[in-house]
Amino acid sequence: MLSIKNLYKSFGQPGGEVCVLDGLSFTMQAASSVALLGESGSGKSTLLHLIAGLDKSQSGDIEFSGKQLSTLNESALANMRRHQISLVFQQFHLISTLSVFDNIRFQAALCQRFDNAFETQLIDRLGLSSLLKKLPHQLSRGQQQRVAIARALLHKPKLVLADEPTGNLDEQSSLEVMAVFTDLVKSAGSSLLMVTHSKEMATFMQRSVLLHNGRLSDI
């Protein structure tokens, strides 16, 4: 489903070019889950951005769902994200002017793919039933993160990219949210690539990889 070959990415810094990804290769099967670990500044988020088509590499290939990302224009990349990829960040970026219910249905509405039974399941499992009519600013951070997760999963994307999704929550809440999150990803039939610092969170995944010196290795 996802295949990365010889990916190279560097950033211009005042002291010279800093190489973040140095010939990185990686494959990921459909309906699998992978934890991406690494030190701060090792390039984890950069890798996620490249996979989502939000950033461009200097060289190398990323093939997702049979398509080379480097051959897609901005509009095709947006279309790919809309239908097949979901992103969950530490910041939730809910739409402040829409209710919780509308926020949950937002990406599904964009790609016109609704599954009412799954919607009910998401809302129940994430404990959002009583909050549906509220506006985002009326929720706690944990509640907002659950809405972001529901939004990311409702249209059953092929791949969910999560960047420390529980980084804003306390330990107990993180564990609870993570358990439900990974379970729901499975129910949606999606793959999950999650950046985390926590080895405990990585245990929820089928596989863990470490990004070090610009390359990935299984741990």
Partner 1 sequence: MKQAILKALLSHYWRHPWQALFLLLGLTAGVGLWSAVQIINHHAEVSYAQADSLLGVQANYWIRNRSEQGIAQADYIELRRAGFRQIFPVIEGQVITPDGQLISIIATDLLALRQSMPEETVDQTFNGIDNWLQLVQKPYRAWVPQQLADEFALIQGDQLQLRDGRQLPPALIQAQTQQGRRIFMDISAAFTLFDTDQFNYITVGQLTTEQFDLLTSLLPDSLALVQNQQQLDLSELTQSLHTHLSAMSLLSFAVGLFIVFNAVRFSLWHRRETLMNLRLMGVSVKALISAILFETLIWSLIGTVSGVICGLTIGNWLLPGLSQSLFNLYGATIDAVIALQSETLLLAWGITLVGLLWALAWPMYLQLKHDVLDANSPTLRHQAENSSRQQLALFSLPLLIMAFILFQTMETAVAGFALLGLLLFAAAWLLPTLLALGLKFAQACVPKQRLIGRWMVSDGWSQMPAFRSAMMALLLAMTANLGVGTLVDSFRSAFIGWLEVRQNADIYVNSSQSNIVQLLESEQAPGKTSLWLADSHRQIGITTRWQDQPTLVNGADTRAPDSLRFPLAQWLGDTPDDALALWRDNSNYILANEQLHYLGGLKLGQTIQLDTDQGPVDYQVVGFFYDYGNPKFQFYLSYEEVAKRWKYHYSRGTALWLKPDSTSNGPSSRQQAEKSFLANGINRADWISQDEIRTLSVNIFERTFAITAAMNSLTLIVAAIALLASLLAIMQERLPEFAQWRALGVNTREQFLIICSPLLIFVVIAWLLAIPLGAVLSWLLIQKLNIVSFGWSMPMLWKMAPAWQLGGLVLVIVIVTLLLSLLQLRRRLPDALAELGELS
Span near partner 1 by CB under 8 A; candidates 17-25, 26-34, 62-70, 92-100? 92-100
| Shortest Å distance, C-beta 93 to partner 1 | 4
Residue 75, burial from CB neighbour count under 10 angstroms (0-12, 13-18, 19+): exposed
Based on the shown chain and the rule CB under 8 A, indicate whether residue 109 belongs to the binding site for partner 1.
yes
146, 154 Cβ separation under 8 angstroms: no
Which residue lies nearer to partner 1 by CB, 89 or 181? 89
For 152, the enclosing helix (H) or strand (E) is helix 141-153
What residues between 152 and 181 interact with partner 1 by CB under 8 A? 163-164
Alpha helices in 52-140 (DSSP H): 74-84, 100-104, 106-111, 116-125
Nearer to partner 1, 93 or 186 (CB): 93
User: Is residue 81 a contact point for partner 1 (CB under 8 A)?
Assistant: yes
Decide if residue 131 touches partner 1 (CB under 8 A).
no
- If the CB atoms of residues 157 and 214 are measured against partner 1, the closer one turns out to be 157
Residue 185 tokens read as 């990803």
Q: Which of 68, 93, 141, 170 binds partner 1 (CB under 8 A)?
A: 93
Contact 23, 8 (CB under 8 A): yes
Per DSSP, the residues of 37-50 read EE-TTSSHHHHHHH
**Using CB under 8 A as the criterion, which residues of the chain lie in contact with partner 1 when the complex forms?**
45-46, 48-49, 52, 54-55, 74-75, 78-83, 85-87, 89-91, 93, 95-98, 102, 105-107, 109-111, 136-138, 151, 163-164
